[in-house]
Structure 1
Amino acid sequence: MKEKLLSFSINRSLIIALVGLLALGACKSKKKAVEPAPAPAPVETVTETPPPAPVASAEEVAAEKLENYFNSVAASGNTSMANQSIQETLAMFSNQETPVLIVIHEENGIKDYDEPTTIKKYLEYLKDTKKNLNFISDIRLDANGKVSELELRRK
């Protein structure tokens, strides 16, 4: 009998606790409904003028064009297309003997170069190998805006 009484009192206590929790929960939700929502803080709109677009220097523009020409020569499907791309590229240089230096190693600011070549020879090399393995690391323009020296590095 004690077990039955004990079991009855535990069940009754649990039910009372559950009803009490529900009542407290209901009170909180009513309280929230009665309280006015805090007014949102006024938002200040600040219109920032975007920074001016960076202006590309003549060297950057020339380097981008040359990269496209180099890729075009290397990827050309036939010899005539490659030769046409080579002629367009050579028009950007002060002459066909413009030096092209290829950096093969650099340590502590000291650069080691591959054998110097000319732009004409380098373009023929691209046409023959059909691979552009270098990127432009330095470019120098003369007073007429034509490339007077080119430095390349391995990709």
Structure 2
Amino acid sequence: MKQKLFTNSINRSLMIAVVAMLAMGACKSKKKAAQPAPPAPVEQVQQPAPPPAPVSSAEEVAVGKLENYFNSVANASNAAMANQTIQEALAMFSNQETPVLIVIHEENGIKDYDEPTTIKKYLEYLKDTKKNLNYISDIRMDANGKVSELELRRK
């Protein structure tokens, strides 16, 4: 009987301790909920410095000019105008035999090219077909600022 009484008192003590812990935990969370949140620190909003004016690289400028030349050759009203535009465009290249690669397919970073051609032949092709179906996807320039290789893709 003494052991049963002892066990009951331990069980009661444990039960009281558990209830007390829960009550204290609830009080703390109520206390935390009742306290207002500390005010957020006021940050001074600084006006960001305006970004510098975009500087076009030589490659970007060359791409813009070449796209215009390609469209001009394809849309020329007569052969004389197309030939004049071709001569102007050729001045941007290191020589008339500068390679022009046309990507016809790319998968997993591996590119398949159409038969390589030269810039002279490509410009003549534009003049003959009167269609500019490609855009410049990569351009390489030599030390003199002339185009040394051109990679095109379908629009």
Deviations 1:8-49 (A, max 9, x none): xxxxxxxxxxxxxxxxxxxxxxxxxxxxxxxxxxxx885443
Alpha-carbon offset, residue 57 of structure 1: 1.0
The within-5 A match list for 1:28-47 is 46-47=46-47
Partner residue, 2:95: 95
Partner residue, 1:58: 58
- Any stretches of 5+ residues in structure 2 without a counterpart? 1-43
Partner residue, 2:136: 136
Partner residue, 1:124: 124
Partner residue, 1:34: none
- CA distance in 2: counterparts of 1:46 and 1:152, whole angstroms: 45
- CA distance in 2: counterparts of 1:96 and 1:135, whole angstroms: 19
Alpha-carbon offset, residue 123 of structure 1: 0.1
Residue identity opposite 1:148 in structure 2: S
Deviations 1:62-97 (A, max 9, x none): 011000000000000000000000000000000000
- CA distance in 2: counterparts of 1:71 and 1:88, whole angstroms: 13
Q: CA separation of 1:47/1:149 partners in 2, compared to 1, >3 Å: closer, same or farther?
A: same
- CA distance in 1: counterparts of 2:151 and 2:104, whole angstroms: 11
- CA distance in 2: counterparts of 1:148 and 1:45, whole angstroms: 49
Residue identity opposite 1:68 in structure 2: N
Matched residue SS, 2:93: coil
Residue 74, structure 1, aligned to residue 84, structure 2: no
Residue 111, structure 1, aligned to residue 111, structure 2: yes
- Any stretches of 5+ residues in structure 1 without a counterpart? 1-43
Matched residue SS, 2:138: strand
Q: What TM-score, normalized by structure 2, do the two folds share?
A: 0.70
Q: What TM-score, normalized by structure 1, do the two folds share?
A: 0.70
- In the TM superposition, structure 1's runs of 4+ consecutive aligned residues that sit over 2 Å from their partners are 44-49
Partner residue, 1:150: 150
Residue identity opposite 1:121 in structure 2: K
Percent of aligned pairs sharing the same letter: 84
Deviations 1:106-133 (A, max 9, x none): 0000000000000000000000000000
- CA distance in 2: counterparts of 1:151 and 1:48, whole angstroms: 39
Residue identity opposite 1:94 in structure 2: S
Matched residue SS, 1:93: coil
- CA distance in 2: counterparts of 1:67 and 1:115, whole angstroms: 21
Residue identity opposite 1:112 in structure 2: D
- CA distance in 2: counterparts of 1:74 and 1:66, whole angstroms: 12
